[in-house]
Amino acid sequence: MGTIVIDSTHINLKDQALRALSQLPPFSPILSRLIATLAHEDISFQLVATHIEKDTVLAGTVLRMVNSAMYGRRGTISSVRHAVALIGLDRLRNTALSLSISQLWSRVRAARRWPASRFNLHGVATAILSDTIAQNTCVEYAEGAFVAGLMHDVGKLVIAVGLPIEFEQILDMAGESGRDLSECEYEVLGFRHAELSRAVLERWNLPLEVQQAVAHHHEPIRGGSPVPLASVVAVADRTVNDMGLTLLPRPGSPPPPQEIETLSPLGLGAKEPFVILNFQSEFEAIRAYF
């Protein structure tokens, strides 16, 4: 009877990718505290404002955005606390998280063809849409929708940082075959970015519900009540991709938002146009800062 040999190549690749976490800039204390507030529904706006105020660069960027024409305010808003009162706690916290994490990851040294700007825009768009959906239907662990959307593809970043040669192979395979990037990841690496994303969030001690949503965001979408958080992230991910906010450029122009139907599996019904409009408003307010 022959000896069964287990090929450890894929296991070693995953370990190598995860070791790349040490190459990512650490979260600042302010960012860590902002993420921690996501687990508390009764968090006070004074506490969030205090966290943001302690980061001069972040506070300045938030105030510039709030004073932009997009928000249509009269007069000048000069304090973060005033901004919280005007645009709401959730929106301000989400904005701060988006700006902080995206600026952090933009400094990462990754594979030559890593599209840092597109990655950040896709993550922020998915986060905003996930959160908007969660505000308009019954969702499991709705408070985690934004951060799950923001970090659902962090596994792709870790692959590009820790396995740059393999990342280039994945891009070439996807470009030549037209296949989905996730399928090409599995063929080259033996695992997909969603699995790696979960491992990253586990090491960062994010809530288990967020880890699970990220891990399963490429699986079949399920409706029902409450809607699984993974399905919300999956729908948001597909929708922003259909809008052209993709990691890799797609040929042709994206369809008008009103013709995109990927929200339908969640059963939003008459709320769908409202969700899309709210998403567009919030996303356009922040995309200029990326």
Q: What is the pTM of this model?
A: 0.86
What pLDDT was estimated at residue 70? 60
**What residues pair up with 227 in beta bridges, in sequence order?**
139
What topology is assigned to 10-22+110-290 in CATH? Hypothetical protein af1432 (1.10.3210)
Q: Is 280 helix (H, G, I), strand (E, B) or coil?
A: helix
Give the model confidence (pLDDT) of 199-221 as tens digits: 999 988 888 999 999 999 999 88
What pLDDT was estimated at residue 69? 61
Domain boundaries, the chain: 10-22+110-290, 26-107
C-alpha span between 185 and 166 (Å, rounded): 9
CA-nearest of 188, 145, 193, 197 to 165 is 188
DSSP 80: H
Mean residue pLDDT across the chain? 85
b/e per residue 57-79 (b: at least 16 CB within 10 A): ebbebbbebbeeeeeeeeeebee
What pLDDT was estimated at residue 182? 94
Q: What is the DSSP string of 5-25?
A: ----HHHHHHHHHHHGGGGSP
**Both tokens assigned to 183:** 């399928």
C-alpha span between 208 and 39 (Å, rounded): 11
- Lowest mean pLDDT, pick from 24-33, 106-115, 138-147, 240-249: 24-33
